Amino acid sequence: MSSNITTREFGRMPDGRIVTEYTLDNGLGLRLGAINHGGIVTALHVPDRHGHSGNIVLGLPSLADYLGPHPHLGTIVGRYANRIAGGRFTLDGAQHQLPLNNGANSLHGGHRGFGTRFWQIEPVPADGAAGEEIAIELRYTSADGEEGFPGEVQLTVRYALSTRENTWRIDYRAVTDRPTVLNLSHHDYFNLAGEGAVLDHRLTIPASRYCPVDAGLIPLGLAPVAGTPFDFRAATPVGERIDAPHEQLRVAGGYDHNWVLDREPAGLALAARLEHPPSGRVMEVHTTEPAVQFYSGNFLDGSLRGADGESLRRGAGLCLETQHYPDSPNQPDFPSTVLRPGEVFSSSTLHRFGTLA
The DSSP symbol for 190 reads B
3-class secondary-structure state, position 110: coil
Query: Mean pLDDT across the stretch 202-208?
Result: 98
Confidence of residue 207 (pLDDT cuts 50, 70, 90): very high
pLDDT > 90? residue 81? yes
CB 138 within 8 A of CB 184: no
Concerning whether 264 is annotated as a catalytic residue, the answer is no
pLDDT at 184: 98
Q: Is the pLDDT of residue 130 over 70?
A: no
Q: How far apart are CA 224 and CA 209, in angstroms?
A: 4
Of all residues in the chain, the percent with pLDDT exceeding 70 is 98
The active-site residue out of 72, 187, 286, 351 is: 187
Residue 2 has pLDDT above 50, yes or no: yes
| CB-count exposure of residue 230 (10 Å: 0-12, 13-18, 19+) | buried
Whether the pLDDT of residue 237 is over 90: the answer is yes
Mean pLDDT for 254-277 is 96
- Residue 3 pLDDT: 82
Q: Which of 21, 321, 324, 351 is catalytic?
A: 321
pLDDT at 261 over 80: yes
Residue 131: predicted pLDDT: 65
Beta 153-162 vs 291-295: how paired, if at all?
Answer: unpaired
Query: Does pLDDT of 124 surpass 90?
Result: yes
Q: Distance between CA 174 and CA 114 in Å, rounded?
A: 13
3 state SS of 187:
strand
Does 275 participate in catalysis according to the annotation? no
> What average pLDDT does the chain have?
96
Could you tell me the end-to-end alpha-carbon distance of the chain, in angstroms, rounded to an integer? 24
% of the chain with per-residue pLDDT over 90: 96
What pLDDT does 127 receive? 61
CB 180 within 8 A of CB 89: no
Q: How far apart are CA 334 and CA 22, in angstroms?
A: 37
Give residue 172's pLDDT. Answer: 98
The answer to whether residue 128 scores a pLDDT higher than 50 is: no
How many Å apart are CA 201 and CA 279, to the nearest integer?
Answer: 10
pLDDT in tens, 17-39: 999 999 999 999 999 999 999 99
Average pLDDT over residues 157-175: 98
Q: Give the C-alpha separation, 176 to 180, whole Å.
A: 7
The pLDDT of residue 34: 98
